[in-house]
A and B are shown apart, each in its own frame.
Chain A
């Protein structure tokens, strides 16, 4: 069963625009992670936000977490063609461990030059 679900499933924007993708989850968590997957490659960890954090930044990435709504968003500012990839949120349940880390279906982001 999928804990996190990303929205939208696909997003196409022009280079230089901002890209926002959302993740909703079902049960309480102690952290939420975002990963990127380039076509034909493995997933790469982008950022982790803990349940007691509301916002976190890393370079052009901004992640927010709203535990009351069980949702998170990933914002990529000033997008580049190299940002074209699938983006996944991943969550372990509050009482679980990394062995129960579950992934959503992902958002396919296309950045047009």
Chain B
């Protein structure tokens, strides 16, 4: 079992370019999340999904879009990258909504020049 797999692990973009981060899970979890982690800021929730075909905004959704066409995949898109989006992005999944632990991927480090 791979658990939660994020691709790519590293990416360098120029301002204005677009890209998509893929999160794939093999645990059959309903809930999936995208967080960003910046120094001194902890993790901040970007978008989340409570099931296939559903998405919702988190704390810092601006500049990002997401899709959950298949239960096992959660995509995070940047349509026009900005230097402020330089960060480490983490995908996480959960089995239950309220009391369950989160399972994290290893992160995707994105640099926007």
Contact = CB atoms under 8 A, between A and B. Distances in A.
Chain B interface size, under 10 / 10 to 19 / 20 to 34 / 35 or more? 20 to 34
A30 B102 CA distance: 16
A24 to B, nearest CB: 14
A99 B31 contact: yes
Interface string A23-57: 00000001101010000111111001010000000
B105 A98 contact: no
Contact of B98 (A42, A43, A44, A92): A92
Contact of A98 (B94, B106, B107): B94
Nearest to B43: A103
B56 A99 contact: yes
B48 A99 contact: yes
Interface residues of A, number: 28
A98 B104 contact: no
B42 A42 contact: no
B100 to A, nearest CB: 6
A1 B96 contact: no
A48 B94 CA distance: 14
Interface string B88-113: 00101010111111111111000000
B2 interface: no
Contacts of A45: 101-103
Contacts of B41: 105
Given A43-B104, A45-B102, A99-B33, A88 B94 contact: no
A85 interface: no
Interface of B: 4, 31, 33, 35, 40-43, 45, 48, 50, 56, 58-59, 90, 92, 94, 96-107
17 contacts: A41-B107, A42-B104, A43-B43, A43-B102, A43-B104, A48-B99, A88-B42, A96-B98, A98-B96, A98-B100, A98-B102, A99-B50, A99-B58, A99-B97, A100-B45, A101-B45, A103-B43
Interface of A: 1-2, 30-31, 33, 35, 40-45, 48, 50, 88, 90, 92, 96-106
Ranked 6 nearest A-B pairs via Cβ? A42-B104, A45-B101, A97-B97, A103-B43, A105-B42, A43-B104
